[in-house]
């Protein structure tokens, strides 16, 4: 199998010396409900995990919850609820949305607020090694101590600073040596939740949370790290810097698997812009299989627009029903349908940078061949097993009539 590695900007063979892939995907900041862009990231990651397991590997997966963050505090204040209550509620909503579209839960699901001790350990070591400095109770990573900083994003300094400022950086912070230095530990502010630290009360910075959580559960090196393409800089860039200089082990991540953005009305689908299609709304109208087919009909590195979602979801629903008909076809005792070419084409597509779009096309061809063969009295039993098995790699539940829009899920 070959995957595109964001760091090297080329396709690379995916290998594991011990047969295990240790995998981390950046999760949600729970202050609003799951939109289609989130679902695209987590469904693509889910399929990558499923396919690696189909190939015979074992996976260990971790997904974080950033349950303390500026956005949570801001949103909680706007709607008049406690920040931790908002985080718990929206995390439960997110988990229900993922269950509704058959995204398997990770092996570990850590919350940032439960990992403070590990975060403090990382910050302390970075200070001791001279990669960080403390000012007035806040601790910052010193980018000038790190000549390789920013390699993942392939940006020069002005572009990095501009991008960071668009994504929450505070360049005018008087405690910083450089506007691009990023906060590891943030000193307490009035009315905000805090935890004790050697530098006074405060709370963790965003980037250090993921490094702490990944290292606790996966060790100092990750095989595959995933997330939305908008996290390449600054978030994942900062993860690399602090993680590698904390542990002394490089690379922090062997393969960077970034999923592109979903657009709506010409702009990136995002909470800040308010242009979102929510999974909870779609699942009431369309089956989970149709939603997954719609998402996976786009390559994970393709930026695409969801303006015509209803049309494409309806087409995906039709495809699902045709595949279900293929699985239900009786067939006969005539010549068996040769399924090997379809299995090979599916594998070739998936091995080619997880090309789910092409893989779906091949399964659709297989479904049509099953229907044609059954109609002429041929044996389709082996082909039906193949269709069911390969559809499962894509996370589809074709045999479950109750799975999708008519199913009710426990949000507890």
Give the H/E segment covering residue 259.
strand 253-259
pLDDT tens column, 369-381 = 999 999 999 999 9
* 357, 296 contact by CB (below 8 A): yes
How much is the mean pLDDT over the chain? Answer: 94
Same fold, 2-264 and 308-393: no
* 277, 306 contact by CB (below 8 A): yes
Is the pLDDT reported for residue 108 higher than 90? yes
pLDDT tens column, 4-27 = 999 999 999 999 999 999 999 999
pLDDT tens column, 249-289 = 999 999 999 999 999 988 887 766 777 899 999 998 999 99
Measured between alpha carbons, how far is 163 from 38 in angstroms, rounded to an integer?
Answer: 21
- 308-393 fold: 1.20.120
Please name which of 292, 313, 276 lies closest in space to residue 403, comparing C-alpha atoms: 292
Is the pLDDT reported for residue 388 higher than 60? yes
* Residue 386: per-residue pLDDT: 98
**Ranges assigned E (strand) in 64-180:** 132-135, 138-141
Task: For tokens 């392939």, name the residue.
Answer: 154
Is the pLDDT reported for residue 406 higher than 50? no
Token pair for 286: 């369309």
How does residue 411 score in pLDDT terms, banded at 50, 70 and 90? very low
User: What integer is the mean pLDDT of 88-113?
Assistant: 96
Is the pLDDT reported for residue 412 higher than 50? no
User: What integer is the mean pLDDT of 225-248?
Assistant: 98
Token pair for 167: 């994504």
Measured between alpha carbons, how far is 381 from 327 in angstroms, rounded to an integer?
Answer: 9
Measured between alpha carbons, how far is 170 from 182 in angstroms, rounded to an integer?
Answer: 9
* 68, 113 contact by CB (below 8 A): yes
User: What integer is the mean pLDDT of 374-402?
Assistant: 93
**Segments making up each domain of the chain, as ranges:** 2-264, 308-393
pLDDT tens column, 145-175 = 999 999 999 999 999 999 999 999 999 999 9
pLDDT tens column, 170-209 = 999 999 999 999 999 999 999 999 999 999 999 999 999 9
Q: How far, rounded to the nearest angstrom, does the alpha carbon of residue 6 sit from its chain's CA centroid? A: 15
* Residue 341: per-residue pLDDT: 98
pLDDT tens column, 301-354 = 999 999 999 999 999 999 999 999 999 999 999 999 999 999 999 999 999 999
Please name which of 270, 324, 265, 263 lies closest in space to residue 293, comparing C-alpha atoms: 324
Measured between alpha carbons, how far is 241 from 219 in angstroms, rounded to an integer?
Answer: 16
Is the pLDDT reported for residue 407 higher than 90? no
CATH code for the structural domain at 2-264: 3.40.50.620
pLDDT tens column, 30-45 = 998 789 999 999 999 9
């Amino acid at each position: 199998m070959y995957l595109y590695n964001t760091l090297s900007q080329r396709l690379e063979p995916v290998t594991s010396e011990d047969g295990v892939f240790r995998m981390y995907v950046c999760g949600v900041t729970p202050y609003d409900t799951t939109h289609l862009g989130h679902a695209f990231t987590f469904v693509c990651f889910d399929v990558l995990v499923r396919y690696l397991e189909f190939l015979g590997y074992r996976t260990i997966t971790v997904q974080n919850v950033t349950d303390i963050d500026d956005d949570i505090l801001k949103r909680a204040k706007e709607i008049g609820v406690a920040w931790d209550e908002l985080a718990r509620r929206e995390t439960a909503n997110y988990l229900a949305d993922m269950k509704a579209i058959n995204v398997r839960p990770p092996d570990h699901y850590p919350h940032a607020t439960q990992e403070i001790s590990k975060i403090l350990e990382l910050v302390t070591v970075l200070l001791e090694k001279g990669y960080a400095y403390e000012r007035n109770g806040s601790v910052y990573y010193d980018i000038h101590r790190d000549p390789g900083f920013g390699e993942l994003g392939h940006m020069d300094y002005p572009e990095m600073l501009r991008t960071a400022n668009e994504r929450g950086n505070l360049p005018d912070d008087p405690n910083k040596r450089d506007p691009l230095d990023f906060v590891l530990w943030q000193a307490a502010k009035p009315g905000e939740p805090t935890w004790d630290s050697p530098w006074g009360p405060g709370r963790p910075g965003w980037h250090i949370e993921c490094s702490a959580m990944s290292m606790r559960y996966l060790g100092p090196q990750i095989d595959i790290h995933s997330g939305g393409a908008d996290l390449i800089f600054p978030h994942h860039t900062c993860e690399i810097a602090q993680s590698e200089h904390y542990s002394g082990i490089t690379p922090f991540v062997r393969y960077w698997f970034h999923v592109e953005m979903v657009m709506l009305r010409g702009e990136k689908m995002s909470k800040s812009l308010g242009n979102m299609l929510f999974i909870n709304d779609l699942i009431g109208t369309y089956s989970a299989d149709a939603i997954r087919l719609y998402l996976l009909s786009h390559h994970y590195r393709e930026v695409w627009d969801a303006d015509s979602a209803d049309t494409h979801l309806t087409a995906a629903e039709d495809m699902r029903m045709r595949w279900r008909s293929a699985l239900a076809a009786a067939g006969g005792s005539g010549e068996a349908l040769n399924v090997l070419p379809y299995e090979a084409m599916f594998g070739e597509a998936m091995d080619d940078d997880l090309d789910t779009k092409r893989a779906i096309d091949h399964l659709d061809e297989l479904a049509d061949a099953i229907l044609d063969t059954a109609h002429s009295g041929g044996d389709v039993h082996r082909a039906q097993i193949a269709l069911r098995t390969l559809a499962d790699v894509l996370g589809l539940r074709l045999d479950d009539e109750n799975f999708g829009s008519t199913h009710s899920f426990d949000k507890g």
